[in-house]
Structure 1
Amino acid sequence: MRRGTSFVQRERLTVALYDSHRLPDFPYTRASSSFSAVVQLYAQSSQLDTAEVRHRRFRDTPPWCHFGCDAFESVHHIFARCPAFFAIRRAHSMQLCDETSSLLEGGVADRVRKALEGAAQRVFFDDAGLWPQYQTRFYVGVLPTLARIVGNISETEVGVLPPQSHDMGNIASS
């Protein structure tokens, strides 16, 4: 193996395709979801300890999923595809849908509300209609842009939502 190639990032994420809302100044230290922020950091830098990473770097383990799947245990597989975690993804999807519905109740036009509620149902799953690169990327801390979800939004359709809620990242993190 060539020296230095085992720690090279395997996938490139085209961040410009996703929501560009401003992140808080303290995402890894004082955030209520600091564990999630650390997982995102490790996933973005190819440092999350999956079978695929260990196999590629150290050759000390087979690259197959530890949970019995016939798939490579990649970060994407664990967070988006592995059947062992389907119930967890589904539960969090339902919670996100409920919170999105309550945030948007009476605050936006029906078209916008339905589009955002539909997107909330699909955040944790691969969906070519929602995700710019056809696969979910929530686990690295990015979300689709509002323009991709609802198209052109007018000020009257946005309604009474506070200005910081006008992007998907702030709706999802509320």
Structure 2
Amino acid sequence: MALDFDVVDLPETDHVDVGETAPDFTRPLVNEEYWGDASLSELVAAGPVLLVAHTMNGAFPATYMWNEIRDRGWGERFDVQVVGLSISDPYAHKRLIEERGIDHALFSDPAADVAAEYGIEHDLDGMAGVTEFRPAVFLVDGDRTVQYAWAAQEWPDFPDYDAVEGALAEL
């Protein structure tokens, strides 16, 4: 099968891993109705968070990931808040939520500062000064301890959704 895109190996990353404390951050958090600043520590105070970092909205990996998460019903099946994170601005997040029927909130981090803190930044080839998130998933408990971590090693790459579900089932 011929692909319409090249598979690209991503540079090695020293991303936040299992047993480490997830860095706290405050960014605009967008849902279907509104957005406002929120912090990861505020979210985990209410229960575990599955932080799903994805490419910019409109790129097929983001669409594919959110379709898979929606179809698997993680927010309904597990006691976890599923929250997205990307460089897309709040307006783009609002459109993605509406177009894809996403029932989860999305953090907006246009400067990709959180990507750098988590070790999952990816400089886009041929685009000077443009950094985005490499796809990644972090399951963070109430103490901000990472219980599950995955980060893409190539583009495009997607998490092992069954492995994520296994980690969610162990909560």
TM-score range, shorter chain: under 0.3
Provide TM-score, normalisation by structure 1: 0.27
Higher relative contact order (Cα pairs below 8 Å, separated by 6+ residues): 2
